């Protein structure tokens, strides 16, 4: 079961820690003109009843940082998340 929720903390947890893992990353620069240069799915540590890790969708509005946009799933380890090409 996957849960979808809007993130209340917009700055990605991966910006400030090395504990998270990038599962997949892709660029939209050639396809879009909105200056959102990339997207990625990451697994980050999670302190909650759903699991020890959560998978998040992030966007990169500027080259300096990533912004967490949504939680897309929970698991007990980063290995619990299977990622396919978008």
In the chain, DSSP assigns E strands to 5-6, 21-27, 38-48, 51-62, 65-75
| Beta strand pairing call for 5-6 and 21-27 | unpaired
* Structural domains in the chain (count): 1
Q: Give the pLDDT confidence score for residue 85 in this predicted structure.
A: 63
Q: Give the pLDDT confidence score for residue 5 in this predicted structure.
A: 38
For residue 69, report the phi and psi dihedrals to the nearest 5 degrees: -105, -35
47 in any annotated domain:
yes
86 in any annotated domain:
no
49 in any annotated domain:
yes
Domain limits for position 13: 5-78
Cβ atoms of 3 and 23 closer than 8 Å: no
Q: Give the pLDDT confidence score for residue 6 in this predicted structure.
A: 36
Q: Give the pLDDT confidence score for residue 7 in this predicted structure.
A: 41
Q: Which parts of the chain have pLDDT scores under 70?
A: 1-18, 29-37, 63, 85-86
Q: Give the pLDDT confidence score for residue 71 in this predicted structure.
A: 92
């Amino acid at each position: 079961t996957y849960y979808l929720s809007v993130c209340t903390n917009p700055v990605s947890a991966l910006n400030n820690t090395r504990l998270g893992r990038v599962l997949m990353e892709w660029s939209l620069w050639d396809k879009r003109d909105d200056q959102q240069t990339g997207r990625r799915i990451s697994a980050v540590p999670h302190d909650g009843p759903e699991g020890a890790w959560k998978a998040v969708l992030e966007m990169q509005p500027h080259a300096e940082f990533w912004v967490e946009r949504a939680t897309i799933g929970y698991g007990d380890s980063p290995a619990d998340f299977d990622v396919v090409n978008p």
